[in-house]
Structure 1
Amino acid sequence: MPEESRRDVLLSACTDHVLAEGLIGLSLRPLAKAVGTSDRMLIYHFGNRDGLVAAVIDEATTRSVAHLAGMKAPRSVRAGVLTLWQAYLEPPLHACNLIYVQAAASGYLGKEPFRSSVRDSNARWEAAMRDWFLRCGASRTRVNRITQLVESGLLGFHVDLATDTPAELLRGVRDLADAAQVLAG
């Protein structure tokens, strides 16, 4: 198998494992065993643990962006927020967001590769959300403000899932959807 293909297969398997098990406490030997390879092969393909972590975060973001791009957009910004929140509660966005939050927490502390990977992930996700809201009918002049509001709000609600149920958060999500629609004009 060509080197790039083997790396892609390993990256996909490692990403699947991290999405199921989490990023915190990730160790190469147990990960390698779980995906049917050796830690030496992971190092060969990704350089070191940090290179693997950065690649996994990038792959999770790629999956999230592709999922959002494939979703049917409703015809209003309000409905777009509510549809997006529902997607945050289901695979694959739920798992990808959990990995993002774990990476962001480490990045917040200044740890690399988390900080750089999260910055790159933010830019890619923000662009995907701008496209989502344009497809939902937002104007080009207001889409950046809508995206910033909704991205920050939904991420906060997603973090709150650690202690609150989706039903407990729904009122706040609906308020966010209403605010985004007002901002849309």
Structure 2
Amino acid sequence: MGHGERERLLGLVAAHVLEHGVTSLTLRGLAGATGSNNRMLLYYFGSKEALVGEALRVVGEERFPVFATAWAALERGDGPLREDLHRTWSAIAAPGNVPFLRLFFEVFGQAARGDERWAGVLGDIGDWQRPAAARFAREGLPPAAARARATELVALWRGLQMTLLITGDRDAVDAVQRQALEAFCDRLG
């Protein structure tokens, strides 16, 4: 058993985490879900936290790559900012991304409660301000203003994503997002 077995186990854990979340995960439960045992999981990953952290990375990067792609496209985009922002929202709020959003907000909640196990993971998958701030700076905003507007945009979108998860009313959320983004872009100048 080597690298292939480690990757197989990681894929199974990623699928399990995506379906069942992270709040009540146990090493024993993960071993059962993967057809492995505690000892082998610890051998390959060192700790439950390291295993779950890697699984969340896999979920974010490999199963839902549109998040990284959408933010990268916004950062390097050369079209009109308004259109690039609308395109980014459409990509990250697409119906196929709902399982990722559920998992993201679950981990976000755990980190917000001060659970240090999730802080590093959120840093990896939750750094949405950086590409937005880079784009706003390219559009001519001073660095501090670009960071502030990026924080505002991400807060708006996270709130709307959460509302989408809670209500399931995509049309209403998209309408609010369009109106809010138009006002946001008008303020940017």
Q: TM-score range by the shorter chain?
A: 0.7 to 0.9
More helix by percentage: 2
**Identity of counterpart residues, as a percentage?**
21
Give the secondary structure class of the aligned counterpart of 1:113.
helix
Displacement of 1:102 after TM fit?
A: 0.7
Report the counterpart of residue 141 of structure 1 in structure 2: 141
Return 5+ residue gaps in structure 2 as ranges: none
Give the secondary structure class of the aligned counterpart of 1:110.
coil
Greater displacement, 79-88 / 100-109:
79-88
Report the counterpart of residue 62 of structure 1 in structure 2: 61
Report the counterpart of residue 38 of structure 2 in structure 1: 39
Report the counterpart of residue 25 of structure 2 in structure 1: 26
Q: Aligned equivalents of 2:108 and 2:17: distance in 1?
A: 15
Structure 1 pair 13/76, CA: closer, same or farther in 2 (3 Å)?
Answer: farther
TM-score normalized by the length of structure 2: 0.74
Structure 1 pair 85/111, CA: closer, same or farther in 2 (3 Å)?
Answer: same
| C-alpha contact 2:98 2:165 (8 A) present in aligned 1 | no
Q: Aligned equivalents of 1:173 and 1:65: distance in 2?
A: 22
Deviations, residues 41-61 of structure 1 (Å, cap 9, x unaligned): 222222222222222233334
Q: Aligned equivalents of 2:102 and 2:35: distance in 1?
A: 24
State which structure, 1 or 2, has the greater radius of gyration over its C-alpha atoms: 2
Correspondence 1:135-174 to 2 at 5 A: 139=139, 141=141, 143-164=146-167, 165-174=169-178
Deviations, residues 103-133 of structure 1 (Å, cap 9, x unaligned): 111111111201332234333x4335556x5
TM-score normalized by the length of structure 1: 0.76
Displacement of 1:159 after TM fit?
A: 1.2
- What do you get for the CA RMSD once the two structures are aligned? 3.1
